[in-house]
Amino acid sequence: MNEFMKAMEFRHACKLFDDKKKISKKDIGTILNAGRLSPSSFGLEPWHFLVIENAKVKEALGAACWNQPQVTTCSHFVILLSKKAKFFKKGSEYLDESFDRRAKDEKSLKNIQKAFDNFIKKDLGTDVTNWAKMQVYIAGANMMNAAAFIGIDSCPMEGFNAKALRKAIIKNVPSFDKKNYEIAYTLAFGYRVEKQKEKIRWPLEKIVTFIK
Ligand SMILES: Cc1cc2nc3c(=O)[nH]c(=O)nc-3n(C[C@H](O)[C@H](O)[C@H](O)COP(=O)(O)O)c2cc1C
């Protein structure tokens, strides 16, 4: 098995972390960079990552996350935020800045602006808030796989009450920019204490259709 597939097998939704073991600065940097390097629709990187290391803050957020022990035992609890829909309105500063850094000249800038505008108005099959969150899930998946590659465990967590978690973040994380961000989902990172269970997955034949 190649190293990447070994990491895919190693990754599992870790339910309990060793609260004595802390991820190094270098390793958490690697994990976050995997998120940063992720693809996003039109390259708009609609994300921000709140990285909670503080035990008291983790404790305060835990209740909103169904008191799941991953939150308080993990080394780093990452809240993946998505940019609000207003960032993607025609003429917004963020949209202009984002396209500007990619366009090689005025004409290509106009083209990408027009293509994005059409995409949002005519083709997008979901609302913009949801579309932004979808990008954030990709970044999170890459973070978990990068973590597994360097022997670090993770748990993706949607098991929270969205309103209660938002309220708890506003109360306990003063730097949270509530005007501009939604919560997409959360990821706990750390080191396992229990053996991983056998993977339960449908066989490829059941989930893949080749059209030849
Ligand atoms: C978006 C998302 C949210 C999840 N939320 C939780 C959660 O709140 N708590 C939990 O223990 N597992 C959570 N899981 C983990 C899944 O239950 C787990 O990935 C699935 O059962 C497959 O198991 P495995 O990841 O160990 O292979 C979540 C997974 C995803 C992708």
- The residue whose CB lies within 8 Å of the most ligand 1 atoms, and thus the one to mutate among 155, 165, 195, 201, is 155
Query: Distance, CA 157 to ligand 1 centroid (Å)?
Result: 6
Query: Distance, CA 141 to ligand 1 centroid (Å)?
Result: 12
Ligand 1 atom closest to Cα of 196?
26
- Evaluated on CA atoms 78, 84, 85, 86, the torsion sign reads negative
Query: Distance, CA 12 to ligand 1 centroid (Å)?
Result: 8
Query: Distance, CA 156 to ligand 1 centroid (Å)?
Result: 5
The whole-angstrom separation of Cα 117 and Cα 103 is 16
The whole-angstrom separation of Cα 53 and Cα 25 is 11
Nearest CA to ligand 1 atom 15: 13
pLDDT of residue 133: 98
pLDDT of residue 33: 98
Domains of the chain: 3-85+127-207 (3.40.109.10)
- The residue whose CB lies within 8 Å of the most ligand 1 atoms, and thus the one to mutate among 8, 144, 157, 165, is 157
- Residue 94: count of CB within 10 angstroms of its CB: 16
Three-state DSSP at 126 gives coil
pLDDT of residue 1: 74
The binding-site residues of ligand 1, defined as CB within 6 angstroms of any ligand atom, are 12-13, 15, 68, 155-159, 185, 199
Question: In this structure, what is the dihedral angle of CA atoms 18, 20, 25, 31, given to the nearest 10 degrees?
Answer: 10
Per-residue pLDDT of the chain (212 residues; tens, 9 = 90+): 799 999 999 999 999 999 999 999 999 999 999 999 999 999 999 999 999 999 999 999 999 999 999 999 999 999 999 999 999 999 999 999 999 998 889 999 999 999 999 999 999 988 999 999 999 999 999 999 999 999 999 999 999 999 999 999 999 999 999 999 999 999 999 999 999 999 999 999 999 999 99
- pTM recorded for the entire structure: 0.97
pLDDT of residue 128: 97
Rounded (to 5) percent helix, strand, coil in the chain? 50, 15, 35
